[in-house]
Every structure is written in C-alpha cells, then in structure tokens.
Structure 1
Amino acid sequence: MQFHIKNMTCFGCARSVTAAIQSIDKTAVVSADPESRKIDVVTTASRTEIEAILAEAGYPAAAELA
C-alpha cells in the first residue's frame, strides 16, 4: 500500500509514522520518503487500520492512486 502524508516533513516524522504502523503490526515493512511525503507499507493490517492509526498519531494519510 502507498500513502501520501502531507505533514511528514522530516526523518523524525518518518520514524513516528513507522512506529505508529508497527504498533498495530510489528512485522510491517515501512519505506518512508519525507521529501516526497510518501510511504510504502507491506503489512497484514488493512488500509482502514493504517489510516486510523496514522490519524491518531497526528499524520493523516491519503491513499496514493496508482
């Protein structure tokens, strides 16, 4: 899954985003690029779960369209 996170502006933000996702799936693989404000996530969690945990962490996300 890919998401755009408008307010992920630095690597500190990227670490917070990764930690939030891994709080619901410890095996999730998260590739974050603060410059483009995009993340790629490989997880067993649903898109809805990821969006909810990111919003809760203060990093609301929009799904990236292919």
Structure 2
Amino acid sequence: MKVRIDAGRCQGHGRCYDLAPDLFGEDDEGYGQVIGDGSVPPGEERPARLAVSNCPERAIEIL
C-alpha cells in the first residue's frame, strides 16, 4: 500500500500530517507532503485511510 498527495489539489489544511504524522509532513509553505516514497508500513494502514477520508480537497489517494 502506498499513499500519494496531488499537489495541485492540496490547500494546506494539514489534516493529513495531524492524523498520520508518520506518513505525512508539511513543506516550507505548509502544504502536505508524503514522507519517503509513500509506502505505508504495517500498522499504519488505519491512519493512512483516516488521512484520505479527512482530506477536504480529496488530494490524497491510496495506490
């Protein structure tokens, strides 16, 4: 499982890195970014899905 953020849709609400700080961080302007290559380690599937479902711009997807 991997996650990806569509930078064109992200508005910088920060829910992804609040809900799944091991998977997402913020760039210099406060927009969400995936940590590493986007691979979701075992045990982090639930936070990944929570981040996806809570993104108001629907900018995060699971691959």
The structure with the greater share of residues assigned to helix is 1
TM-score by length of 1: 0.42
